[in-house]
């Protein structure tokens, strides 16, 4: 089971601003990228103008392995927005790089999700101009 | 000496009725409860020279001064988020301690039930702060859009790390409703809750049930703060602000602090607790009752842990059966009902109730209550204070 959308209601578009643009450009190319500090190598997510560890302004968009584990998850039994049909689950994935990302799972029922489950990224082209990084259970 | 240490007192309180539809504007309710708070203190609007409001409040300071005939405002300021209530008292206490104003009114009015929620309407209209944008960008496209859902993510991790079953969160709403059932001004007067009711409550965002989060309300509250010295000349027994503190960390987000090493503890509340206990010179065992942030019941055990009333992971055991946290127990919780059992006005009623306990006028009065702790803003930027009957 994956997220089911109601075609009558557009999915809320992610507000894209200068600080997070690189992330969404990567997703459009089907690449999961995170900010990485050029000075100290710290991986950053959500993206920020300054590295909170070394305060450098120099950062790059670096490719993630796309692999991680479920750190926590919830199941919406009442939808929070008409474009998403309940029930649906939202996961917090801890990536191999150490950063965490809010997302959805594909091809799995909410009952099968568990903390610590290994997952890998997939790209879901859900609407014209909107691709989302989602996760499936890894082998 | 910390400048916040026992310099100010709360000398007047006013609160409206709690309802699903006030049929009044927030400005009307604000004026109504400010008038009541000033009468309570034995002051007039001419005496007021400071106002502190919650940032998102619909009622601007100038609307209040014009309506109330306050002619001489020398201090006005704002506090944000769920952390606002205790922080507003702190801001007012700082104002009178520094001498920039003598009588400061803290107010908050919400038509949270009858009117579309402020945050939702701000987002719909595209008026978002940078931090809101960060949250929204990475959460909204995945349907992670309700505050209950945001909190549920933290609660699930807590359950996993400490082996807690979600049924065990029931004792918090049950305790709040037991107290709320005694409060004729709240929304659950004579409507207590039992464990079976809790188990039957529908899951909204698993692992959170409907009864795990606040009851939307229309209501307003106001408090008057002045110096410890001036307080002695006024109508009521002064309630002293023995200590107050705020806290925010590098990875604090409002309800979504998901990106730090551990998300299963409320670090900001813990830091606030350390500061307010040290500043007041008291320990958790000295506190007679607590008014904690029960916007989300499952965050209450985590607050009890962070504040040192029990050890990490033992919060749900502390609440189990309700004996410790209800009237007659060692630490009665949210004795007016709080957000779960009186009505949700973003924590302002918790301040009012803390004052009532020390005055001895609560509908769930703790015998000889002399020290009351209030925490505001669980799951985000936080604040808290300790009120006392003796300076």
pLDDT digits (tens, 9 = 90+) for A54-85: 999 999 999 999 999 999 999 999 999 999 99
Residues of B in contact with A103 (CB under 8 A): 142
In the numeric block, the tokens 């995945």 are attached to: B142
The answer for residues whose C-beta is within 8 angstroms of residue B287's C-beta and 6 or more apart is B309, B331, B371, B372, B373, B386
Query: In sequence order, what are the beta bridge partners of B51?
Result: B76, B105
Per the prediction, chain A carries an average pLDDT of: 95
Q: Is B267 on the interface with A (CB under 8 A)?
A: no
- Evaluate if residue B153 carries a pLDDT over 80: yes
Q: In chain B, which residues have their Cβ closer than 8 Å to the Cβ of A50?
A: none
pLDDT, position B258: 95
ipTM of the complex: 0.97
Q: What is the pLDDT of residue B129?
A: 64
In tens, the pLDDT along B204-248 reads 999 999 999 999 999 999 999 999 999 999 999 999 999 999 999
Mean pLDDT of B86-113: 96
Residues from chain B contacting residue A52 (CB–CB below 8 Å):
250
pLDDT band at A29 (very low <50, low <70, confident <90, very high): very high
A107: left (phi over 0), alpha (psi -120 to 50) or beta: left
Tell if the CB–CB gap between B156 and A3 is shorter than 8 Å.
no
Report if residue B48 sits inside a domain: yes
Long-range pairs, A106-110, Cβ under 8 A, ≥24: A106/A2, A106/A3, A106/A134, A106/A135, A106/A136, A107/A1, A107/A2, A107/A136, A107/A137, A108/A1, A108/A2, A108/A136, A108/A137, A109/A1, A110/A1, A110/A75, A110/B206
Mean local confidence (pLDDT), A20-45: 97
Packing angle between helix B147-162 and helix B299-306, nearest 10 degrees? 60
- Please say whether the dihedral angle defined by the alpha carbons of residues B121, B125, B129 and B134, taken in this order, is positive or negative: positive
What CATH number does residue B236 fall under?
A: 3.40.47.10
The sign of the torsion formed by the CA atoms of B264, B136, B217, A82 equals negative
Distance CA B339, CA B314 (A): 23
C-alpha distances out from residue B97 to B152, B245, B355, B384, Å: 40, 15, 20, 18
Question: Could you say which of B140, B141, B157 has the minimum Cβ distance to residue A72?
Answer: B157
Percent of chain B whose pLDDT exceeds 90: 89
Which residue is closest to B151 within chain A, CA to CA?
A: A74
Return the H-helix or E-strand segment holding B93.
Answer: helix B84-98
**Residue B186 domain-assigned?**
no
Give the C-alpha separation, A38 to A60, whole Å: 6
Check residue A118 and report its DSSP letter: E
Taking CB atoms and an 8 Å limit, are A103 and B203 in contact across chains? Answer: no
* DSSP assignment string, A33-75: EEEEETTT--EESS--SS-TTT----EEEEE---EEEEEEEEE
The DSSP output letter for B60 is -
Name residues 64-83 of chain A within 8 A of B (Cβ).
Answer: 71-81, 83
Strand partners, B110: B219
Full domain range(s) for residue B293: 8-113+214-388
> What are the residues whose beta carbons fall under 8 Å from the beta carbon of B10, sequence distance 6 or more?
B89, B223, B224, B225, B238, B239, B241, B351, B355, B387
Question: Which among A13, A46, A78 has CB closest to B138?
Answer: A46
- In this prediction, residue B131 carries a pLDDT of 62
Mean pLDDT of B303-321: 98
User: How far is the CA of B63 from the CAs of A27, B69, B98, B326, in angstroms?
Assistant: 48, 10, 26, 40
Is some CB atom of chain A closer than 8 A to the CB atom of B258? yes
User: Is residue A102 less than 8 Å (CB to CB) from chain B?
Assistant: yes
Write the CB contacts of B193 (distance below 8 Å, at least 6 apart in sequence). B173, B174, B177, B178, B211
Q: Is the confidence at residue A87, as pLDDT, over 80?
A: yes
The answer to whether residues B208 and B151 touch, using CB atoms and an 8 Å cutoff, is yes
pLDDT of A11 > 70? The answer is yes
Indicate if the pLDDT at residue A34 is higher than 50: yes
- Domain presence at residue B194: no
pLDDT at B125 over 60: no
- pLDDT for res B133: 73
- Looking at the complex, does the CB of residue B124 fall below 8 Å from at least one CB of chain A? no
Cβ–Cβ gap B142/A132 under 8 Å: yes
Confidence at residue A128, expressed as pLDDT on a 0 to 100 scale: 87
B-chain CB neighbours of A84 within 8 Å are 143
In the predicted structure, residue B1 carries a pLDDT above the cut 50: no
Q: How far is B330 from chain A (nearest CA, A)?
A: 34
Nearest Cβ partner for A92 among B128, B141, B153: B153
- Number of separate domains in chain B: 1
Q: Is A12 an 8 Å CB contact of chain B?
A: yes
* Cβ neighbours of B130 in A, within 8 Å: 17
Cα(first)–Cα(last) distance of chain B, in Å? 15
What is the average pLDDT score of chain B? Answer: 94
Lowest mean per-residue pLDDT among A102-116, B155-169, B245-259, B278-292: B245-259
Contact A75 B144 (CB under 8 A): no
**pLDDT tens across B323-340, in order?**
999 999 999 999 999 999
Kindly determine whether residue A90 and residue B153, on different chains, have CB atoms separated by under 8 Å.
Answer: yes
- Please identify which residue in the block is written with the tokens 């050029």: A38
Name the 3-class secondary structure at B111: strand
């Amino acid at each position: 089971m994956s997220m089911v959308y109601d075609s009558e209601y557009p999915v809320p578009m992610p507000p894209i601003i200068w600080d997070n643009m690189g992330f969404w450009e990567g997703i459009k190319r089907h690449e999961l990228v995170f900010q990485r500090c050029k000075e100290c190598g710290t991986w950053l997510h959500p993206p920020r103008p300054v590295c909170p560890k070394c305060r450098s302004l120099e950062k790059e968009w670096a490719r993630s392995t796309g692999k991680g584990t479920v750190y926590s998850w919830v199941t919406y039994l009442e939808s929070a927005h008409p474009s998403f049909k309940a029930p649906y689950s939202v996961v917090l994935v801890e990536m191999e790089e150490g950063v965490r990302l809010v997302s959805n799972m594909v091809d799995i029922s909410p009952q099968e999700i568990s903390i610590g489950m290994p997952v890998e990224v997939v790209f879901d082209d859900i609407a014209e101009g909107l691709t989302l990084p989602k996760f499936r259970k890894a082998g | 000496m910390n400048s916040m240490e026992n310099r100010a007192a709360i000398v007047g309180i006013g609160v409206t009725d709690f309802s699903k539809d006030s049929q009044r504007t927030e400005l009307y309710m604000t004026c109504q409860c400010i008038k009541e708070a000033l009468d309570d203190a034995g002051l007039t609007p001419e005496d007021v020279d400071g106002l502190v409001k919650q940032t998102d409040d619909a009622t601007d300071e100038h609307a209040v001064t014009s309506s109330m005939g306050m002619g001489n405002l020398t201090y006005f300021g704002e506090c944000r988020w769920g952390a606002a209530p205790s922080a507003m008292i702190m801001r007012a206490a700082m104002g009178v301690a520094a001498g920039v104003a003598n009588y400061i009114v803290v107010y908050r009015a919400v038509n949270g039930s009858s009117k579309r929620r402020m945050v939702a309407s701000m987002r719909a209209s595209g008026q978002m702060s940078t931090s809101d944008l960060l949250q929204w960008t990475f959460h909204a496209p995945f349907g992670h859009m309700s505050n209950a859902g945001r909190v549920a993510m933290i609660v699930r991790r807590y359950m996993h790390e400490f082996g807690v079953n979600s049924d065990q969160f029931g004792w918090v709403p049950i305790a709040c409703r037991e107290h709320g059932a005694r409060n004729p001004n709240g929304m659950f007067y004579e409507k207590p809750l039992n464990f079976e009711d809790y188990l039957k409550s529908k899951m909204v965002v698993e692992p959170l049930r409907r009864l795990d989060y606040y009851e939307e309300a229309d209501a307003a509250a106001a408090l008057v703060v002045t110096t410890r010295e001036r307080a002695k000349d006024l109508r009521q027994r002064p309630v002293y602000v023995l200590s107050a503190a705020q806290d925010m960390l590098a990875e604090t987000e409002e309800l979504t602090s998901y990106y730090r090493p551990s998300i299963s503890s409320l670090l900001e509340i813990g830091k606030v607790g350390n500061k307010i206990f040290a500043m007041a010179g008291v320990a958790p065992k000295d506190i007679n009752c607590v008014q904690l942030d029960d916007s989300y019941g499952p965050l209450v055990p985590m607050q009890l842990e962070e504040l040192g009333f029990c050890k990490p992971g033992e919060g749900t055991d502390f609440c189990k059966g309700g004996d410790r946290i209800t009237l007659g127990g060692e630490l009665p919780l949210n004795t007016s009902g709080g957000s779960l059992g009186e009505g949700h006005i973003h924590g302002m009623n918790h301040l009012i109730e803390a004052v009532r306990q020390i005055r001895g006028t609560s509908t769930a009065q703790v015998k000889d209550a002399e020290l009351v702790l209030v925490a505001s803003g669980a799951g985000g930027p936080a604040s808290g204070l300790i009120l006392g009957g003796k300076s």
